[in-house]
Each structure stands twice: as C-alpha cells, then as structure tokens.
Chains A and B, each alone.
Chain A
Amino acid sequence: MALKQSTINLGTVMVIGGCGFLGSNIVDQLLNFPTETDPSCALPKPQGDPRFIYPRLSDRYPRCAAKTVVVDLRTTNNRLPGAEYYDGDITSAESMLAIFRRVKPDVVIHTASPSMLEANKALLHKVNVDGTKNLLEVAGGAKGDWGGKCKAFVYTSSSSVVHDTQSDLINVNEEWPYIRGDLQKEYYSETKADAEELVLKYNRTSPSSMLTCAVRPAGIYGEKDTSITFNVLEHAFKSSPTVLRMQLGDNNNLFDFTYVGNISYAHMLAAERLLASYQRIEEGHDPTLDCDRVDGEAFNVTNDAPVYFWDMTHALWALADKVVEPHQVLALPEGLLGIIGAIGETIFKLFGKTPRLTRRAVRYSCMTRFYSCEKAKHRLGYRPIVPVEEGAARAVGYYIEKNRPTAGKKEQ
C-alpha cells in the first residue's frame, strides 16, 4: 500500500513499560526505527533467504517528532539510542512523581503489565489495577503538582476484557460488555478490564483535565514476541513430525493475529488525536461529535484480516522449514481432546506438573475469536500497514536468527 508519509507531533512522550515487547516497539516507532538504521540495535534476521526480505518499516509508518522517555521497573533490556531511560515503580507515587518532575511529559503511553501466564493474582491486581490508578493520579495532577501538564494518556488494554476464555467471539466490536466476576475465567483479563474502566472514567476529570483512551490489541505477535511466535516455534523444534501433524479441531476457527508494529501505530494515532482534542478544548471549542470522539473511548486494534488458527501455525512452521501439508494433517476433534486434556491434567497434578495438552490449550486452539476494528479505522484513521503474512515472516526470521546457535547444535 502506497501510504503518503506524514509526521505525528507528540511533544514529550513517556512510555511506561517501554522495555517490554510492545513498549520497546512503541519506542522504536517513536524514534523512527533505529532498529533499521543503527547496527548496534538492529534486529537479527536470516540473510540471503528471499522469504525474509521485506520493505522497511520506516518507509511506511508515519514519522514521529517526539522526545522519548522510557520508564520501566528495570531498564536493562531492549534499550534504544535516542531515548532517556528511568527505573520506576508505577505502584509508588513518590517514585513516579520524582520522574514526572524531571521529564514533564505531554503524553503518557501505559503498556506495563505482568505477563498473563507468570503472574499471580496479587501481583496482577497490584500492578494492573493499583498501579494504573496511581499512575493516572500522578499524571493527572491529583498527587501533587509536578510542574507540568500531561494532556494525553493512552492505556494498553486487552481484547480479552470482553472474553470469558471459553466462548467464541465473532466479529466483536467495542459495544460488548466487560466480562468480570464469576463469568471471567482469566484473572488477568479481569484486572485489565478494571484498569481500563479506571482509565476511561478518569477522562477529563483530573485536575489538569487530562484526556484518556484505551487500545485493545488482539493476538499480538512480531519480533521479540515471547508468547505466540515463541510458543508455536518452540513446539515445532521440540516435536516429532508425527506430533506436528496433529491439529486440534477442524481448523475452521478464525483468529485475529495482530502485528506489533500496527498496534504501536494505533497508539501513536490515539495520542495524536487526544492532543488535537486537548488543543481544541483549551481554545474553547470542542465540536467533536460523539460518533467521532476519541477521548474516553476504547478501540479494538487488529490486522483486520482474521486467519484460520492452524493456518497461522502451519505458516510459521513452514517459514521454519517444517511443512505440514493438508493431506498430512491429523485433525483431532475438540470433544475428545477436552476429555484427554482433563485426564492428563488430573494425572499430572499428582506430580505437581502441567501437561503440554490442557483443556485450556484445546479451547484456545479451537475457538473462533476475531474482532471488528471499524471504530479504530474510522475515528483514529488506523490502517493495518504491515499485513499478517509479512508480520509472520518478521517474527519467525527474528526467532530463527536469534536462536541459530541452538538450532545449529541440534543439527550436529
């Protein structure tokens, strides 16, 4: 797609969680892709393979004019030249106030969250809910004056806030209600919903009239991805060819996989539009119609191209030179797998371990889960600039090159 390149002016941007997978990608985009220009932080990828040749990101995403500041619990990972780094704890008001006094951000992009699979309930609540509340109040000026005004607050929520992790979601938009309480099987999603609600309710109510909104990414994958790509490829390299042929379900379930760069782009657009609204409000007129407003709203962000779940898996495996052809596929019905998963879980529980096949894994592999991102396209001007197949090549290329010594060792 030939996109006319524009410039997004954001002033001073503070990325909370900027050393994480998504956060560091946002920083990369804010700095106009040093990973493509600076060899010291270039992303590894296989050389000489035409499947991993793709056009530059910096030629397609808009340019950003922003002073970039990163705050994370630890800032040792994923550092990029051109950004300032601060260690800070979002659950501590004093810690954050000190940083805000030094940085005086115009925009806060809050991506910090414990991993969905590693954290326990107490930590999830502490960081996602209490931490977000604390950060909102510091940024909004409710915890004391830090010498500036934060105009825009963009929160990275999750598409799972409307999902109970059991049912199918078919072309779901932002009108779907939060799933919380007994219906919600995933505590992570409950804390993300609580946090998102805090953020959206805080819109325009802070002492500085800060504007807020939330971005709900669905199925994030890409370079440095430690969940989707990592799990799929790890399975490919660990399993025998026979196991790779096993497919959970009939593969007629559509799933949204969203390239991380597109999600970062959505954050830029959201911040840009919040700043524009803030400017209009300060100038005394805000004629934005409800159907066009951005502040106080949540936005689904996807690649607008749902893919059959196992097609994505097979595509990633094929890029890693492990091809499973349609006639080789062993399609195992979901009902049977659910029973086997339950039995396996019971047995392994006696030994305090988790089997590879769980009921949860079966459900995730067989469910339909895709969203409508029309609202983001209409109100933010969002477009999925990097298509799914290129994102897949980027993610696999990164993984292969980064793990090449191990792969080489296995080959010997």
Chain B
Amino acid sequence: MKPSEWLYFAVHPSQLRSIIQWKVWHNPVHERNETAEPETQRVCFRFLDQTSRSFSAVIKEVHPELLLPICVFYLVLRGLDTIEDDPSLPLSTKEPLLRGFPDILNRNGWTFDGNRPEEKDRNLLVEFHNVITEFQNLKPPYRVIIRDIAHKMGNGMADYCIRAATEGLSVLTNDEYDLYCHYVAGLVGEGLTRLFVEAKFGNPGLLERPGLHNAMGLFLQKTNIIRDVREDHNDDRHFWPKEIWSKHVDRFEDLFRLEHREASLNCSAEMVLNALHHVDECLFYLAGIREQSIFNFCAIPQSMAIATLELCFRNPAMFDRNVKISKGDACQLMLDSTQNLRVVCEVFRRYARRIHRKNTPKDPNFMKISIACGKIEKFIETLFPSQTAEDARRRVAGQTSVAEDAKRKADTETRGDMVFMFGILFCVVLVVTVMMIGTAWLMGARFDLAFQELRQGNWPTPINMPPGRLRHGEL
C-alpha cells in the first residue's frame, strides 16, 4: 500500500476496520473448485476476471448450480456489448452479428477478430469459442434462457445502432431513457431471474412481476449512467435524457462549465431522483430470493448503487472526474449485503437519509427528492414494521385495566403521602436549626470569629497556647 493510503487509514480508522473485517472474517457461502475445471472453463473464468473487476468476485461465490450458467451468461452479454460499443465496426457488420448472436452460440469454434485494437474486451471475442463450448455444456433450460435474452438484447442493441447511425445517439424522453436501460440492463435482470427460478433459488412469483427484475437492472444502469457522465462526455456519448437536462441548461456541454455549476447540480439531483423511484421494487425483488449466495449476488450491486447515488448527489466533482465510493465503504457495504434483507434495508435507509441531508431548498425538486427518500423509508416499514396494532392494543388495554387503575391510584396516594411527610420533616428540621442558631447567637456566641478561624485553616481546638497569645486575647 502507498504511504498516502496508510496516512488516509490512520485518519479514517473505521474505513480500515471495514476492510479488515471483509478480508479476514467474510466466509463465502460457496467457493469455486478450480482443480476440477476443464481448460475451457478456466479460460471463461479468466475472462470473467478481466472483463468484470467488480462483479467477478461476487459471481464466484454463487451456488455451484448457477456459477457457470451465470458466468457464461455474463460473458455472452459482454460479447454483445463489445460488438455494440465498437465505433470502428460499420453498421453492415454490426447489425447481423447482434441480431444473429443466438445462432452464433450454436456454432462451435466461432471467433471474431474484427474489433479495433483499442477495444478493451477484444480478446473475449477472439477466443469466444471457449464460451461457446461451455454454453453447450450447460443444462438445456439454462441454454434456452441465455439464448432468449441474447436474442432480445441483440435486437434491441441493433435497433439502437441503426438509430444512432441515422439520427445520432441521444436519449430524448424519460421513457426512452427507461427503454434504453431496459435493453442493456433490464433484460439482464430478466435472464438472471429466470435462471434463479429454474434452479429453484427464487420465488416463481418474481417471473409474474417483470417490473421487479426490470427495476433491478434499471437501478444499476441508471446509477452508472449518472456516475459516468464525465467519461461518457469525453467519448462524445450522452445518455442523460434531454427531457431532464434541457430544464436546467440549453446545451448538454453547459453541464460541465463552472458558470453553470448550480444548474448542473440541480440536473444531477433530478437524475438521482429519477433513479430512486426504482428502490421500492428492488427491495421487493430481494424479498423473493431464497438462497443466500444468490441473495448476496443480487444485494451487493444494489447496495453499491445506492451508495454511488449518494456520492453523486449534489457533488460537483462528478462533472470533473470519475467519482468512486471508498474501499472502506465498499467493504462495509459488502459485509452488510451478505447478511439478510433487513440489514440491506438498513443500508438503503441510511443512504436515503444521507441524500435527504444534502438536499437543498434551492433545488426545484427539493420536495420531490424528500418525498422519494421518505417513500423508501415508508416501504421499508411495510417490509419490517417498527410498530404493530397488536402492541398498541396491548398498551391501551394495559392502561385501562380496572385493577391496575386502582393499584396506580393507591401508589399515587402513597407516593403523595411520602412526599408530604418528607416535606414536613424537612420543615421541622429547618425551623429547629434556625431556632438553635438564633438562640446561640443571642447568648453571645461569636460565629464571626469561628468563621475567621476556619477560613485561616485553624481547624483543631488550640492546645498549650503561648502566654503571649492568651494575654492578647484578654486585652
């Protein structure tokens, strides 16, 4: 570790504590058994490590039944993404690949070396035959799910590429924003949910409520879009909907100018507000997960997302550079996300309150943001109520019991009597003291001399005083 990091942790010991806790005490629910893996599988996990620094560790702790299906699913989508993202590929090449990706998964040995050298995940496609081999080894139901999602996502991405080529890539309305996020992330949520339910790790009811897994995907995607605004802008890509940013600035580039900083902060706050509306459904979704490692797999990214939103909320730095939550906070979030739903809800409540604390009345959406944070807390109260009607009834019933009423009244009278007697006793003592002191004074007691002696520190009675002093006294 660098000296600056040591200094940082010296000043922030709680952060260091969180990191140590996670590294030393975290016990994965499941661990991958590497020695039994065939070569193609090992290659897949190597690609997982390379292409997903944040998700890789989480995926590897998943239940063995779903470890490989999720890994393959991830790599398939990453392959699609690598094709879609590459600006050097002409549309005539890109579109057939995207739309035909489900069929490619059935072509043993298929690879693709057409990406530009700068494309970060290029090698995944160059060695894609490994992914295809492992895909073929999956159980048939998992293959059907992955193929289906690849089909939908490939078509969605192709449609966007065509639109980008003809109209320019821009998101106009909030609905278009949601639709884009649905294609790139909501469908991932759908695929994962179907995998969970197929493996019996998730409540089948989750399939009947597509809004829930869509929200899981959208919340993560929107968080990334909000956080990555600067680096996307550097790449000349804009995903913030015009419906939102046009309320605050005339041109998107103005968001990055210092003179428009206040408008930029209000704009990013509205983007965060838009994302917060998905939190209810995310928490509801997590309530439907039955297996611990799958719960961890789903909860960790969501907790990271709410923390990232809080970091971005009214933070001018996000328009200058990439902002990231600290390592200590990340470890704490991972610790909290691998317990149970109640602890995860506490995480969301905590970060909702942090967002609310930074909210300013100068923001035109001040009240809406406050309401969105309040809504998260209210929803958590429906999942884990702090109070119940039963407790309230018991309290009321307890108080109105006739026997207890009589007892309390008797106690009150007793206490009153005691207070009264102590009061009288105190008065008597006071009166007697005053009388005694008064009498003594009348009889010539020299209290003033006594006080003088005490003040000088002469506590004991003088014994064997010198004759001179005695004589002085007489005078």
Contact = CB atoms under 8 A, between A and B. Distances in A.
Interface in A276-328: 305-308, 311-312, 314-315, 317-318, 323-326
Contacts of B400: 181
A170 B374 contact: no
A323 B361 contact: yes
B381 interface: yes
Contact of A315 (B356, B367, B393, B396): B367
Nearest to B398: A183
Interface string A325-357: 110000000000000000000000000000000
B471 interface: no
A335 to B, nearest CB: 20
A183 B399 contact: yes
A252 B428 CA distance: 52
B387 A326 contact: no
Contacts of A173: 389
A239 interface: no
Contacts of B366: 311, 314-315, 318
B361 A317 contact: yes
Nearest to B349: A252
Contacts of A315: 361, 366-367, 370
A176 B389 contact: yes
B404 to A, nearest CB: 11
B118 to A, nearest CB: 43
A305 B374 contact: yes
Contacts, number: 94
B367 A392 contact: yes
B382 A171 contact: yes
Given A183-B399, A307-B367, A388-B367, A171 B378 contact: yes
A181 B392 contact: no
Contacts of B358: 326
B378 A326 contact: no
Interface string B380-397: 011001110100110110
A307 B374 contact: yes
Contact of A324 (B361, B386, B387): B361
A234 interface: no
A175 B389 contact: yes
A232 interface: no
A388 B371 CA distance: 8
Contact of B370 (A172, A308, A317, A324): A308
Interface in A151-173: 162, 168-173
Contacts of A325: 360-362
B359 interface: yes
B258 to A, nearest CB: 19
A326 B362 CA distance: 10
- Name, among B358, B361, B381, B395, the residue most crowded by chain A CB atoms within 10 Å (CB to CB): B361
A177 interface: yes
B403 to A, nearest CB: 15
A254 interface: yes
B399 A389 contact: no
B357 interface: yes
Contacts of B374: 254, 305-308, 370
Interface residues of A, number: 38
Contact of B377 (A176, A254, A388): A254
A325 B386 CA distance: 31
B375 interface: yes
A172 B385 CA distance: 9
Given A171-B378, A173-B389, A254-B374, A389 B367 contact: yes
A169 B388 CA distance: 10
Contacts of A176: 389, 392-393
Given A183-B399, A370-B378, A326 B367 contact: no
Chain B interface secondary structure, helix, strand, loop or mixed?
Answer: helix
A308 B356 contact: yes
A308 B360 contact: no
A295 to B, nearest CB: 22
Contacts of A182: 399
Contact of B381 (A171, A175, A251): A171
Interface string B336-374: 000000000000000001001111111000111011011
- Name, among B368, B389, B393, the residue most crowded by chain A CB atoms within 10 Å (CB to CB): B389
Contacts of B385: 170-171
B361 A318 contact: yes
A170 B393 CA distance: 15
Contacts of A177: 389, 392-393, 396
Contact of B361 (A162, A308, A314, A387): A314
A179 interface: yes
Nearest to A319: B361
A326 B357 CA distance: 7
Nearest to A179: B396
B381 A252 contact: no
- Name, among B373, B382, B386, B396, the residue most crowded by chain A CB atoms within 10 Å (CB to CB): B396
Nearest to B372: A305
A292 to B, nearest CB: 20
B387 A169 contact: yes
Contacts of A314: 361, 366
A293 B367 CA distance: 35
B399 A326 contact: no
B363 to A, nearest CB: 9
A385 to B, nearest CB: 15
A305 B379 CA distance: 11
Given A177-B393, A181-B399, A315-B367, A170 B387 contact: yes
Interface in A364-401: 370, 372, 387-389, 392
A325 B362 CA distance: 7
Contacts of B378: 171, 254, 306, 370
A207 B386 CA distance: 44
A387 B371 CA distance: 10
A389 B367 CA distance: 6
A305 B387 CA distance: 19
B88 to A, nearest CB: 45
Contacts of A323: 360-362
A171 B387 contact: yes
A180 to B, nearest CB: 8
- Name, among A182, A251, A308, the residue most crowded by chain B CB atoms within 10 Å (CB to CB): A308
A173 B388 CA distance: 9
A224 B66 CA distance: 61
Contacts of B395: 183
A325 B358 CA distance: 9
22 contacts: A162-B392, A171-B378, A171-B382, A171-B387, A172-B387, A173-B389, A176-B392, A179-B396, A182-B399, A254-B377, A254-B378, A305-B374, A306-B378, A308-B370, A311-B359, A311-B370, A315-B366, A318-B361, A325-B361, A326-B358, A370-B374, A387-B371
Given A177-B392, A178-B396, A324-B361, 17 more contacts: A170-B385, A170-B386, A170-B387, A171-B382, A171-B385, A172-B392, A173-B389, A181-B399, A181-B400, A252-B356, A254-B377, A307-B367, A308-B370, A315-B366, A315-B370, A325-B362, A389-B367
The 3 residue pairs across chains A and B that have the minimum distance between CB atoms = A318-B361, A389-B367, A175-B389
